Amino acid sequence: MSMASLEGLGGRVALQVPLRALSVAVALAAAILAVLVWSLMTGSYDLSRAEVIDTLWGNPPSDTAGTVVWEFRFPRTLTAFMVGAFLALSGATLQYVTRNPLADPSLVGVSQGAALVVVTVTILAPGFGFYWRPLLAFGGSLVVAAIILTIASSRRGGETLRFILTGIGVAALISSFTQTLLTYGDVDGALAALTWLAGSVHAAGWDEATWLTVTAMIAVPALLAAARPLAAIRFGEEVATSLGIRVVAARRGLVGLAVGLAATAVAAVGPMGFVGLVAPHLARRLAHSGVGLHLVLTALTGALMVGLADLVGRAAFAPVQVPAGLFTAIIGVPVFVALILRTQARSQL
């Protein structure tokens, strides 16, 4: 890890700065900005760059142009970025806490819990479902996560392994209920549910963008502030305890944060696989850094992944809309496998 030393106040303050990690963070932020601009300029509704800029400055060439840029493209792109960042941060936190590099939000049943509730309502009460879908998904995520955490912490000792196994088991059980509904439920409702299950940002508006922003303002600083206990926990319970960390409380708080982030993301756009799994690894391989900076890189990587996936998904085959979740899987899986193969010799897994 290349470091640069910065000194100030006559040498009384010295700061070690991981140069490469900071450079990567700046590059990722620039890439996200580029995707935002590209996304605002691209779409099925024919608008020139000048017209988009005029619209952004409050002088749209028509009411419809204003609607397209301000009500469709802008909130959709912001939502994609935030969903990506949330899922990535959730995955990274769970990987640190469980010390399992394959952990992601599905481990705590977030996707499965949301899926079961949304599929149930979409099939059994389609008229009720749409407006309440985000709230239902959020509730389903939290309930299933709470069940997993309660079972996993019901005995002392070996909590990490029991947490992983419980997560896998309960998630599989919940998924089987969902599958049953999809198989035997009304075909139109099942098709609608399948579109949501693919993870798509197509219907995201300012409501989603707003409550994702509010969540970000609370959860992201809390997570970054928890970098120290997170760094200690990854070395194991004994080391963390010797460093003065109250391991059980810290672990539960961190898992709670991870669940909250993932549940909010899934409630906004549906389950989106591989981001929580792949983004932390991609970030780590882009630049080695401490836990805090790694979380920042992870969030930026996740945001870029989903933002790009949504842009490609809505523009590449327009007017056919390919869910971003499919593209994150299509992009994420090969990249992940390539990374594993490339670093097999010095694997951290």
Partner 1 sequence: MRLLTIAAAVVIAAFASPILAETRTITDDLGRQVEIPVDPQAIASLDDLRLTLPLIELGAPVVASHGRISRVDSSQYIRSADILTGASFENSNIAFIGIEPVDLEALAAAEPDLIFTLVTSNADADQLQAIAPTVVFDEDITDRFAIYDRLAEMTGTEPRLWVLKDRYAKQLAQLTRLVDTESISIGLIEGGSDGAIAIEHTFGSLGRVVRDAGFIQPDVIEEIAPGGRAALSAELLPLLDSDIMFDTYRGDRAEGPENAHARMEEVFPGYCEALTACTEGNYYRIPRDEAKAISYNALSAMTMMLLTILSAPAPVGE
Footprint on this chain of partner 1 (rule: CB under 8 A): 43-46, 64, 67-68, 71-73, 122, 126-127, 129-131, 183-184, 186-189, 191-192, 195-196, 200, 202-203, 205, 314, 318-321
Q: Which is nearer to partner 1, 93 or 264 (by Cβ)? A: 264
Minimum CB–partner distance for residue 205 and partner 1 (Å): 6
Which amino acid would we find at residue 85? A
> Which strand (E) or helix (H) includes residue 48?
none
Minimum CB–partner distance for residue 116 and partner 1 (Å): 18
Q: Which is nearer to partner 1, 93 or 321 (by Cβ)? A: 321
Minimum CB–partner distance for residue 90 and partner 1 (Å): 24
Q: Which is nearer to partner 1, 72 or 96 (by Cβ)? A: 72
Of the candidates 8, 7, 105, 18, which has an alpha carbon nearest to the alpha carbon of residue 296? 18
Minimum CB–partner distance for residue 8 and partner 1 (Å): 50
Which amino acid would we find at residue 293? L
Of the candidates 325, 306, 305, 296, which has an alpha carbon nearest to the alpha carbon of residue 216? 296
φ, ψ for residue 348, nearest 5 deg: -90, -5
Instruction: Enumerate the β-bridge partners of residue 3.
Output: 18
Q: Which is nearer to partner 1, 10 or 319 (by Cβ)? A: 319
What percent of the chain is helix, strand and coil (3-state, nearest 5)?
Answer: 75, 5, 20
E strand map for the chain: 3-8, 13-18
Q: Tell how many helices (H) and how many strands (E) occur in the chain.
A: 15, 2
Q: Which is nearer to partner 1, 68 or 304 (by Cβ)? A: 68
Minimum CB–partner distance for residue 319 and partner 1 (Å): 4
